[in-house]
Structure 1
Amino acid sequence: MSTHQVHYRTTVVRGHEVFYREAGPADAPVLLLLHGFPSSSHMFRELIPRLAHRYRVIAPDHIGFGRSAAPSAAEFDYSFAELAAVTEEFTEQLGLDRFALYIQDYGAPIGLRLALARPERITAIVTQNGNAYEEGLGKEAWAPVFAYIADPHPGTAAPVREIRSLEGIKWQYTHGEPEPDLVSPDAYHHDAALMAREGQDEIQLALIGDYGSNIELYPAFQEYFRSSQVPLLAVWGGHDEIFVPEGALAFRRDLPKAGIHLLPAGHFALETHAGQVAALMDGFLARNLKP
Structure 2
Amino acid sequence: MGTHYRSTTVRGHEIHYREAGPADAPALLLLHGFPTSSHMFRDLIPLLAHRYRVIAPDHIGFGRSAAPSAPDFTYSFAELADVTAEFTEQIGLTRFALYIQDYGAPIGLRLALAHPERVTAIVTQNGNAYEEGLGADAWAPVLAYIADPNEKTAAPVREIRSLDGIKWQYTHGVSDQSLLNPDAWHHDAALMARDGQDGIQLSLIGDYGSNIDLYPEFQAYFRASQVPLLAVWGAHDQIFVRDGALAFLRDLPEAEVHLLPAGHFALETHAAQIGALIDDFLTRRHTAPVPSGS
TM range (shorter): over 0.9
1:48 aligns with 2:45: yes
From 138, 148, 151, the equivalent of 1:151 is 148
Matched residue SS, 1:281: helix
CA distance in 2, matches of 1:113, 1:149: 20
- Partner Cα separation in structure 2 for residue 97 and residue 199 of structure 1: 34
CA deviations 1:157-209 (Å, max 9, x no partner) are 00000000000000000100011121100000000000000000000000000
| Deviation >4 Å, runs of 4+ | none
For residues 126-163 of structure 1, give each alpha carbon's deviation from its aligned partner in whole angstroms, at most 9, with x where no partner exists: 00000000000000000000000000110000000000
Map of 2:117 onto structure 1: 120
Match of 1:175 among 162, 172, 176: 172
- 2:261 counterpart residue number: 264
**Residue 189 of structure 2 is aligned to residue 189 of structure 1:** no
Structure 1 residue aligned with 2:22: 25
Q: Secondary structure at the match of 2:70?
A: coil
- 3-state SS of paired residue (1:114): helix
Residue 128 of structure 2: aligned partner: 131
Q: How does 1:1-291 map to 2 (within 5 A)?
A: 4-289=1-286, 290=288
TM superposition shift of 1:57: 0.1
When the two chains are superposed, the root-mean-square deviation of aligned CA atoms in Å is 0.6
Extract unaligned runs of 5+ from structure 1.
none
Code of the aligned partner of 2:70: A
2:230 aligned counterpart, secondary structure:
strand
- Deviation string for 1:66-86 (max 9, x for gaps)? 000000001000000000000
Q: Unmatched 5+ residue regions in structure 2?
A: 290-294
Identity of matched residues, %: 80
Cα deviation digits, residues 98-144 of structure 1 (max 9, x gap):
00000000000000000000101000000000000000000000000
1:217 is paired with a residue whose SS is helix
Q: Deviations over 1:198-230 (max 9, x none)?
A: 000000000000000000000000000000000
SS for the counterpart of 1:57 is strand
Corresponding letter in the other structure for 1:205: L
Report the TM-score, using the length of structure 1 for normalisation: 0.98
